[in-house]
Amino acid sequence: MDLKERIATELIAARDRSVGLTLEALDGPDLVAQVSPLMSPLVWDLAHIGNYEELWLLRMAAGEEAMRPEIDDLYNAFEHPRAERPKLPLLTPAESRAYIDTVRAKVLDSLEKAPLTGPLGEGGFVYGMVIQHEHQHDETMLATHQLRENGPALLDPSPPEPPPGDTALAGREVLVEAGPFVMGTSDDPWAYDNERGAHTVDVPAFLIDVTPVSNAAYLAFMEAGGYDDPRWWHPDGWDWRMRSGKRAPAFWRREGGQWLRRRFGRVEPVPPDEPVQHVCWYEADAYARWAGKRLPTEAEWEKAASWDPVAGRKRRLPWGDTGEHANLGQRMMRPAPVGSHPEGASAYGVRQLLGDVWEWTSSDFHAYPGFRAYPYKEYSEVFFGGDHKVLRGGSWATHPLVGRTTFRNWDYPIRRQIFAGFRCARDV
Full-prediction pTM beyond 0.75? yes
Mean pLDDT, rounded, of the chain: 96
Where residue 153 falls among pLDDT bands split at 50, 70, 90? confident
The pLDDT value given to residue 161: 64
Class of domain 159-428: alpha beta
Helix or strand run (H / E) with residue 362: strand 358-365
Bridge partners of 263, per DSSP, are 266
pLDDT digits (tens, 9 = 90+) for 246-266: 999 999 999 998 999 999 999
Per CATH, which fold does 3-147 belong to?
Four Helix Bundle (Hemerythrin (Met), subunit A) (1.20.120)
Where residue 39 falls among pLDDT bands split at 50, 70, 90? very high
> Cα(162)–Cα(156) distance, rounded to whole angstroms?
11
Is pLDDT of 11 > 90? yes
Helix or strand run (H / E) with residue 141: helix 125-147
- Angle, helices 125-147 vs 3-21, to 10°: value is 20
Is pLDDT of 121 > 60? yes
Domain ranges of the chain: 3-147, 159-428
The pLDDT value given to residue 162: 65
